[in-house]
Amino acid sequence: MVLVLRGELRLTAGKSAVQVAHAAVMLSLAAEHRDPVGFGAWTRQGQKKIALVVPTLTDLEGLERLARGRRIPTVWVEDAGLTEVAPGTRTCLGLGPAPAVELDAVTGQLPLL
């Protein structure tokens, strides 16, 4: 699972953590429903996750297109707007869970959060 934040939003550490957590929960629930056997294997293997950052929303949208083209599950986190950003702001893109080789093909060049 890869969780990618928008760098230009300059979210606080706490806000970033929560946005990444939202994406992880959403991806996990969808994966458990979509592929219970695969989800069970991912869970038993330690639920690997990595948090990355891109400069802009445009970059995130490009990642989503690449991931969808490779049939990697994706979710968007859109903030409620109660604290640091406006309502509906896309803060995070979640990808997976999927094999590392598939995720690396889309996000392997990105810096860690």
What pLDDT, on a 0 to 100 scale, did the predictor assign at position 53? 98
Residue 92's region, left for phi above 0, alpha for psi from -120 to 50, else beta, is: beta
For the chain, the domains span 2-107
Specify the fold of 2-107: Bit1 (3.40.1490)
Show the tokens assigned to 103.
């995720």
Angstrom distance (rounded) from CA 45 to CA 112: 22
What pLDDT, on a 0 to 100 scale, did the predictor assign at position 105? 96
Tens digits of pLDDT across the chain (113 residues)? 999 999 999 999 999 999 999 999 999 999 999 999 999 999 999 999 999 999 999 999 999 999 999 999 999 999 999 999 999 999 999 999 999 999 999 999 999 99
What pLDDT, on a 0 to 100 scale, did the predictor assign at position 99? 93
- State the virtual CA torsion across 103, 106, 111, 113 in degrees, nearest 10: -60
